[in-house]
Chains A and B, each alone.
Chain A
Amino acid sequence: MSLLAAGGGDGFHAPGLEEFYPPSFLFVGTPFEINRMMLLRIAATIVLILIFWLGLRKARIVPTRFQSLIEMALDFVRRDIAYGMLGKKDGDRFFPLLAALFFGILFLNITKVIPFLNISSNANIGMPLVMALVVYVVMIGAGIKAQGGGAYIKSQLFPAGVPKPMYLLVTPIEFVSTFIARPVSLTLRLMFNMLVGHLLLVLCFAATQFFFVDMGGLMGGFGILTLLGGLFFMLFEAMVSILQAYVFALLTAAYIQLSVSQDH
């Protein structure tokens, strides 16, 4: 069952996909089953809202250090993602969605590199899928609202300036890339980044454990390498967590921009 089971000896615990589906312990059998992943997801949601609420609850004109930090983070999303892609007017309209996506993904991702949590609930496909579907609906809705249904479909599937016969080729490609590839790529990119990152870290630390405890002696030297590798990948995965949140929000803004603009 394990991806890497082939490499495992007796003492080597190879990371497997089962780790992402721990047994449920609450509401078992109902649609509200809770396992460790769901618990992490709920906890990260609460922490996210709590942190921003504490930062903005008593927001002052002259900010405290913590308030400044929160404002800086929000301003980054607003200026670099919302205004950068959509301009001021549309940027303000879609800022709540973009902020919710960016910080939601960031906080759910970052549990991956927090000791004792060690895994991201975004490795379960549910969250990336829900977010991608919301983006999908908003993208199409914004396009229809901005241009009208017919004009929107035409602008997406029949790009202007292409010779008529070429539509035979272009339109199916545009359809797949716009209405299928976009949500699928959003979902899978995020999910697999989280999944593989976790496997990578587990592999490094499991190997370290293996080399230190089970092999010992000279082979312990390899353990030092895998341990350093694990620490390096921990920093790397922290960066990936932020990067994936940024990419998801940025692509959302880009898709909305492509929908609302006339000339595709």
Chain B
Amino acid sequence: MTSMTPLAAGEQHILIPAVYDIVWSAVCFLIILIAFWKLLLPKFRKVLDDRAEAIQGGIEKAEKIQAEADTALAEYQKQLADGRAEAARLRAEAQEEGAQIIAEMKQQATEESERIIAAAKVQIEAERQAAMVSLRSDVGGLATDLASRIVGESLTDDTRSASVVDRFIADLEASAPASAGAASKEV
């Protein structure tokens, strides 16, 4: 026992590998190495790549959607602004038009009233002329008529004279619609 070095265990020196030790070490390590190299790590890399791709895809998709949303928002805001401007324009137009219409109406009304006033003046003037003509021709006849009747009756008798005047006026009233000529014919 004393002849053994401290690093020997029976026949086996711990620094000198047994053949079976080397064989099984090589077999096991080869299996582990090939398993990682050809089987496990390709799967690991693939899933990492897939994940990176999925994340990248997701980011791109999100960016696309964001861009679309931005475009839509800009479009919407533009439409809104256009709409507002259009509304303002229409309102202004309507106001202008309304003002114009009111002015036109006023103008028309003024013209119409002036026209009516002028026509009325003309008519009144014509009627006045007609009345003047008619009065001029009638007054002479009437005066003559009245005078002759008064002369024909006795002017001393008040009652008679009054009845003559009354009768004359009644005649006048009865022949009022008739012409001056008819009144004179009645005499």
Which A residues have a C-beta under 8 Å from some C-beta of B?
Answer: 1, 3, 16-18, 20-21, 24, 27, 30-35, 37-38, 41-42, 44-45, 48-49, 52-53, 56-57, 59-61, 63, 67, 70-71, 74, 95-97, 99-100, 103-104, 108, 124-127, 129-131, 134, 191, 195
Contact = CB atoms under 8 A, between A and B. Distances in A.
Interface stretch (B37-45, B79-87, B112-120, B155-163): B37-45
B128 interface: no
B32 A48 contact: yes
Interface string B25-56: 11011011101110111011011101100100
A53 B46 contact: no
B14 A20 contact: yes
B112 to A, nearest CB: 87
Contacts of A44: 28
A100 B36 contact: yes
A122 to B, nearest CB: 9
A80 B35 CA distance: 21
Contacts of B14: 17, 20, 125, 191, 195
A130 B40 contact: no
A126 B32 contact: no
Interface stretch (B3-11, B89-97, B164-172): B3-11
A89 B117 CA distance: 109
16 contacts: A17-B7, A18-B10, A21-B10, A32-B23, A35-B20, A45-B31, A49-B40, A59-B46, A97-B33, A100-B35, A124-B18, A126-B17, A127-B25, A127-B28, A129-B25, A134-B33
Given A49-B32, A96-B41, A21 B47 contact: no
Contacts of A125: 14-17, 21
Given A18-B9, A31-B23, A41-B25, A129 B17 contact: yes
By DSSP majority rule, is chain A's interface helix, strand, loop, or mixed? helix
B129 to A, nearest CB: 113
Interface of B: 1, 4, 6-10, 12, 14-26, 28-29, 31-33, 35-37, 39-41, 43-44, 46-48, 50-51, 54
Contacts of A59: 43-44, 46-47
Main SS class of interface, B: helix
A222 B7 CA distance: 30
B31 A49 contact: yes
A17 B51 contact: no
A96 B33 contact: yes
Contacts of A30: 20
B81 to A, nearest CB: 44
Contacts of B48: 71
Given A45-B32, A70-B44, 15 more contacts: A17-B8, A21-B18, A24-B20, A31-B23, A33-B20, A34-B24, A53-B35, A56-B40, A56-B47, A59-B46, A60-B47, A74-B40, A99-B41, A125-B17, A127-B21
Contacts of B25: 41, 124, 126-127, 129-131
Nearest to A17: B9
A74 B44 contact: yes
B66 to A, nearest CB: 23
